[in-house]
Chains A and B, each alone.
Chain A
Amino acid sequence: DVKVTQSSRYLVKRTGEKVFLECVQDMDHENMFWYRQDPGLGLRLIYFSYDVKMKEKGDIPEGYSVSREKKERFSLILESASTNQTSMYLCVTSGSTYEQYFGPGTRLTVT
């Protein structure tokens, strides 16, 4: 069974903290994506990666960075969390058929 896991379902951090969101997949997929979901704005692409050590900016990369040291793991990093980064973060993967698989999401609150 396909599995995309995210390290936390709920996370509360303080302004200025460094935050790591982890995504792990067991499908040997090349492509991994980080989106954030906000009411009335839908899902917006932050960063994506189509190979180990490769990364590309999405539509809203400001304030974020990513790391892909291993094929199965794609990390989203908030260098200095701010309140406007309070959101639901979704990890998505896809393989050679480009069918997408979603993780359960991490609801991050920055206070």
Chain B
Amino acid sequence: GDSVTQMEGPVTLSEEAFLTINCTYTATGYPSLFWYVQYPGEGLQLLLKATKADDKGSNKGFEATYRKETTSFHLEKGSVQVSDSAVYFCALSHRGSQGNLIFGKGTKLSVKP
């Protein structure tokens, strides 16, 4: 079945460091890919998405490119801030699944000043 694998955390970075959180997927066909973020004490929020190969999703300085050849959707940010400390979830969804999301296990990011 479909699955999402993302790098295990926790990840600890200093402010202004470069961030990469790896995400790979296994799926039939052409799923849509998502990154969700959960700030401490809050619910999940959609951070960015890409619906087809080579699409780049971007939001709040974060980017991820849908790479079908490597079945990857790695999250990157050039310069992280303390306020980016959160748990990040990679997920996929198939058109035929009525929006059912399959999530990775989440990666906790801590950014130190």
User: Interface of A with B (CB < 8 Å)?
Assistant: 30-31, 33, 35, 40-45, 48, 50, 58, 90, 92, 94-95, 98-100, 102-105
Contact = CB atoms under 8 A, between A and B. Distances in A.
B95 A105 contact: no
Contacts of A102: 43-45
B44 A41 contact: no
Contacts of B43: 90, 102-105
Interface residues of B, number: 18
B46 A43 contact: no
Interface of B: 32, 43-46, 89, 91, 93, 95, 98-106
B104 A98 contact: no
A43 B101 contact: yes
Nearest to A94: B99
A92 B95 CA distance: 16
Contacts of A105: 43
